[in-house]
Amino acid sequence: MPDISFMNEMYEIYYRKAKECYDRKDLMLAKRYYFLAAEQMLKMAQNSEKQLQKARFSRAKSLIDMAESIQAGKRKIAKDEPQEEEVSVSQNEKISLEEALSRLARLEGLEKVKRQVCDWIDQIKVFQMRKERGMSVPDISYHMVFTGNPGTGKTTLARLMAQIYCALGILSNGNLVEVDRSGLVAGYIGQTAVKTKEAIKKAYGGVLFIDEAYSLANGNTNDFGQEAIEAILKEMEDKRDDLVVIVAGYDEPMEKFIASNPGLKSRFKNFFHFDDYNGEQLFNIFQKFCEENEYSIDYSAAEVLKEYFQYLYDHRDKNFGNARDVRNFFENVVTIQSKRVVNLPQPSNEDLQLIKIEDLPSYVEELLRNQENDYDSYDFDDGEPEENDIPEIETLDGIENSEERSELGENDDKEEIDENNKETNKQTEDISTKNKK
């Protein structure tokens, strides 16, 4: 029986990603995700009845029309013009294991993942020593499963693992080939296996990184994704000495994906979970974007940014994009800063580099002002506390004026001194009288 809830979950993921891609003007990727969302909706329609089936068919048609309108809106591509690749190939530089570990250590956050990777490397090195000395070595799998939300560094670590495996002599070149469902699955029977094998061939000697791998298994035995899975498993076995496959995606869908096929279960044994970045780590990532692009942050802006990123972390939901959200936010800030600087009469180098509090989007102020803490001391116009935001000094016994309070204090002091003098004089007179007697 098809898992309708899983299909619906996949539909929501694809539809959300389609909108995100469309908003950032990545039209080709948006078109793919709209088609994938339509595919899931059609499958749900086929397993529905009456009005629900009719509504889902109608929704699928709307998504297809939306995708095709994006395609129609593109300019016509000439026959001799290179078309966009569905498979991304990264030619990684060969580096030493020490350099790879240094780069691993410099990654923001991911402390648990870093420890797991280091432990895994130590185990591989020991097994290699045992093999060199003629000892038996357990059969181990180098393939990996990365789980976690978007923007948590899964692709970055996959690229680094390709270099680590190359440095350890497990892979010959250490390149990374990135694909998703659209890069593996074709639209007709018999074509998917060919398309998948062509993508895998590009990864020989390196790592095949399959993002959102769970989309290949959606509970429908007639889906072409199953054909892609079988082709991947065969290549993993045939090229086990020079190919590593890393699959990635959200936690729960990935668990279902691995459990969907006994071959996947037996080959993927190394699981790495990527936690969301906390507020401090998000701020550090923003700082790194600034450093890489030669920007600096003034103190007032930095304090507000720390509060803002902590707010993002505390109120995160399933759409939380981690480092991706930080990158988009950074680009937004740079746009606002440019609009301010361009109106300066003669901007200095510091002006061109400095991000001030007024360069932050207005919604940052609105979010922080709604918090339990009082953020009114932040002025998003000039970075200085507003006059009305300075707390008043509490009054004493209804006396409002500080000068009056000062005079009152002085009078009290005078009265106290006079009383002390009277007491001293009286004691002196008593002593004199006794001496005379």
Q: What is the pTM of this model?
A: 0.67
pLDDT at residue 66 in the model? 77
Q: Classify residue 392 as exposed, middle or buried by CB count within 10 Å of its CB (0-12, 13-18, 19+).
A: exposed
Give the CA distances from residue 181 to residues 67, 170, 216, 217, 267, in Å, rounded to whole numbers and listed in that order. 17, 27, 6, 10, 20
Query: Which CATH number fits the domain 88-274, given the four candidates 1.10.10.10, 3.40.50.300, 3.40.640.10, 3.30.365.10?
Result: 3.40.50.300
Q: If one looks up domain 279-389 in CATH, what number appears? A: 1.10.8.60
Query: Taking the mean position of all CA atoms in its chain, how far away is CA 77?
Result: 34
Instruction: Give the burial string for 254-271 (b: 16+ CB within 10 Å, else e).
Output: beebbebbeebeebbeee
Q: If one looks up domain 4-73 in CATH, what number appears? A: 1.20.58
**Token pair listed for 145:** 């499963």
- Listed in order, the ranges of the chain carrying CATH 1.10.8.60 are 279-389
Neighbouring residues of 351: CB distance < 8 A, sequence distance ≥ 6: 341, 344
**Token pair listed for 265:** 């279960």
pLDDT at residue 419 in the model? 57
Could you please report the per-residue DSSP string of 316-360?
--TT--THHHHHHHHHHHHHHHHHHHTTSSS--HHHHHEE-GGGS
Residues in the chain: 437
Amino acid letter, 319: N
Could you give the count of Cα atoms lying within 13 Å of 44 in the half-sphere of its Cβ? 25
End-to-end CA distance of the chain: 122
**Token pair listed for 281:** 């780590």
- Listed in order, the ranges of the chain carrying CATH 3.40.50.300 are 88-274
Measure the CA–CA gap between 145 and 129, rounded to whole angstroms.
26
Measure the CA–CA gap between 286 and 281, rounded to whole angstroms.
9
Residue identified by tokens 């803002």 is 308
Measure the CA–CA gap between 171 and 243, rounded to whole angstroms.
7
CB contact at 8 A, 161 and 207: yes
pLDDT at residue 90 in the model? 67
- Listed in order, the ranges of the chain carrying CATH 1.20.58 are 4-73
CB contact at 8 A, 285 and 162: no
Measure the CA–CA gap between 134 and 160, rounded to whole angstroms.
30
CB contact at 8 A, 337 and 296: no
Q: With left for phi above 0 and alpha for psi between -120 and 50, is residue 50 left, alpha or beta?
A: left
CB contact at 8 A, 205 and 242: yes
Q: Which of 187, 193, 205 is nearest to 234 (CA)?
A: 193
Taking residue 388's Cβ as centre, other Cβ atoms within 10 Å add up to 6
CB contact at 8 A, 207 and 162: yes
Spans in the chain with pLDDT lower than 70: 1-3, 71-88, 90-91, 189, 219-223, 371-437
Measure the CA–CA gap between 62 and 271, rounded to whole angstroms.
38
- 396 forms bridges with which residues in the sheet? 399
Q: What is the pLDDT of residues 18-49, one digit of tens each?
A: 878 877 777 778 888 888 888 878 778 777 77
pLDDT at residue 425 in the model? 54
pLDDT at residue 87 in the model? 67
